Amino acid sequence: MAEIISYELYAYKGGKWVIDSVYDDKQQALHEGRILLESRHLTGVKIIQENYDKETDKTSAMIIFNEAKNVEKVRHKPVKPIPKAGAVTTAPAPRVRPKKEGDFTKYIVKLVVILGGLMLGGVALVAYYMASVGD
């Protein structure tokens, strides 16, 4: 036979892919790959099929099994934390209401009334003084 087929089983451990074992039997390679994936310290298993052509001295490879586990998906949307049942929660801080434009108008009206009153009082005092001097 001109072509030799082998199955290389790779395991992802310690942050890198390392070759674990080599098979000439596809079914056994798949079986061992699935069992290896169950082991605690592995997060991924790959099986690469290598076809070596003796006549052309060329090798081709393709991944026939690629499984991972316990891989947390990165979530970009912030998630509101849900308090656990029975957990002690603190009261939320009081919200400070922003001042509206109407408050400023009321302030101006009050200021005008007070100043107006003071001015009228001043005018009345001057008028009373002038009348006293005239007598």
Partner 1 sequence: MMSEISANESPTGLERRMVHRLLIHWREALGEEKTLPSLDDVMGRDLGDIAPLIYVLNLPEGGEPEFASLGEAFSGSEYGDLAGKPLSAVPEGTLLKNALGYYKNILDKKVPITMGGDFTDSQGKTVFYRSIIVPLSGGGDEIGQLLGAANFKNKED
Indicate whether 3 belongs to the interface with partner 1 (CB under 8 A): no
61: Cα within 13 Å, side-chain hemisphere: 10
Among 23, 46, 48, 65, binds partner 1 (CB under 8 A): 23
CA distance 44 to 5: 23
Quickly tell me which residue has 């200021």 as its tokens: 111
Indicate whether 56 belongs to the interface with partner 1 (CB under 8 A): no
Indicate whether 49 belongs to the interface with partner 1 (CB under 8 A): no
* Selected range binding partner 1 among 32-40, 45-53, 102-110, 123-131, rule: CB under 8 A: 32-40
Indicate whether 39 belongs to the interface with partner 1 (CB under 8 A): yes
How many chain residues are in contact with partner 1, going by CB under 8 A? 17
Q: Please say whether the dihedral angle defined by the alpha carbons of residues 45, 34, 65 and 1, taken in this order, is positive or negative.
A: positive
